[in-house]
Amino acid sequence: MSAAESTGLVPGGGRVAILGATGSIGTATLDVIRSLRQCDPESDWRAWSISGHSRIDSLSRLAAESAPLPETVVVSDESRRGEADTCWKNLNLQGRCRLDFGPEALVRAATAPEVDTVVASIVGRAGLESTLEAVRAGKRVGLANKETLVVAGPVVTQAAAESGSELLPIDSEHSAIYQCLAESRHLAAGSAESVAPQPNAAQSLSSSPADRAHSLNSGNSAEDSFSRRFPGVRRLILTASGGPFRDATTQQMRDATPAQALNHPTWDMGQKITIDSATMMNKALEIIEAKWLFDVPADRIEVVIHPQSIIHSLVEFEDGSVIAQLSPPDMRLPIQYALTHPNRLPCPSPVLDRQKPWEMSLLPADHERFPGLSLGFEVAKVGGTAGVVVNGANEIAVPLFLEGKIRFTDIVELCRQTLRSHNHESSPSLSRLLELDAWSREHASGLAAKIHI
């Protein structure tokens, strides 16, 4: 009997497709899989497939160092075929694991029948199609790519409801909330089972669109739907470190350099998410993600500043109690939770050293210095096409700042102006969302061209 089976519960499965393996989430996932192979060998944990875009040397080395080798390695940038073939020859990987190329290859990896769990960690909107197809295929999906729900939340959650796919968050904040909601999910499932059969508890997140449809058909409000799904819950509270400019003035942020913005005090992340953390657009995107992931009204979400990044999020209940999830800042814990839920197994992430003092402070968020927060709540409130437009503009603005073409404070302003310039639609199709993604990028680029620094 495996360590997972000893609990009497069934996890997502040991064969994992890692979309975006060369980033920080992808390499951490590989580390988690190596650990799980040691502590739960009977479950045969392995990276069935891995993908990368342009960092071919890194991707090739990750494949060569994996044991067992991945069945498939995907290079989504087809122009890198020659470089990949050379690496395969140099590392003696030819005939040992298959190379596949292009965006369609990402979909093939995500939907392969052998794959149990897909870790969606491709940065930005580029991960949408492969993640959506994994959901449609009924896979357990560990969501590290928040942009998927920001861009196409209603489409993705509806697909999950129809396929039975499990959407489990890897973002540390949303993973923390999911863990803190365990009692409420249990209460809701028990109440529902007294009326009609329900899916298993691990599918509780993916059932939210069906609940939403029931709410609309029965005339209940979104508030009623949330209260029914999470009885006794008053508010979801996301924590934010505050980034490198937590105590900076608006003028200091206006004059900030890319090097200053990339100097995050607690997390080691890629450039895009580090800049998003500095502007707090990362938290804005997490507000929108939480709205879709938990089917929660925007006014039931709150953001507080927690500089130490030990408290990853909190849930407040109607009786005034607050439950929090705490751990040192290390993404391997939420990654493993998404892979093994509902089981708890030894994890390679560090534990909280209780033999030394820990300072854990909570501070109110400053919406004036960080207007991205207010923008996030606005988008979460209106839903529809707002998310894709703001996300597209942000994905244009961040590299422009890193290239020195706009100021740090221009990033959120470009997002805000792009949102104001579009005609909001409440129930867009996927094709319409993709059209607006392209439009928002073009519009933001045009706005940025008029900025003189």
Q: Which amino acid appears at position 130 of this protein? A: S
DSSP β-bridge partners for residue 324: 314
Residues 6+ apart with CB under 8 A from 352: 310, 326, 327, 328, 358
Give residue 12's pLDDT: 56
Spell out the per-residue pLDDT of the chain, length 453, in tens. Answer: 444 444 333 455 699 999 999 999 999 999 999 999 999 999 999 999 999 999 999 999 999 999 999 999 999 999 999 999 999 999 999 999 999 999 999 999 999 999 999 999 998 888 999 999 999 999 999 999 888 999 999 999 999 999 999 999 999 999 999 999 998 888 888 776 654 444 333 344 544 444 444 443 333 567 777 888 899 999 999 999 999 999 999 999 999 999 999 998 877 778 898 999 999 999 999 999 999 999 999 999 999 999 999 999 999 999 999 999 999 999 999 999 999 999 999 999 999 999 999 899 999 999 999 999 999 999 999 999 999 999 999 999 999 999 999 999 999 999 999 999 999 999 999 999 999 999 999 999 999 999 877
Give the CB-side neighbour count of residue 353, counting CA atoms within 13 A.
6
Residue 237 sits at φ, ψ, to 5 deg, of: -120, 110
Angle, helix 281-293 to helix 271-279, in steps of 10 degrees: 90
Burial class for 357, CB neighbours closer than 10 Å (0-12, 13-18, 19+): exposed
Within 1-45, strands assigned E span 15-19
Structure tokens at 235: 């508010």
| Sheet (strand 301-305) strand order | 322-326, 311-317, 233-240, 301-305, 363-364
Pick the closest to residue 368 from 415, 311, 420, 412 (CA basis): 412
Give residue 192's pLDDT: 65
Residues 6+ apart with CB under 8 A from 197: none
DSSP β-bridge partners for residue 50: 18, 73
Structure tokens at 107: 């979909």
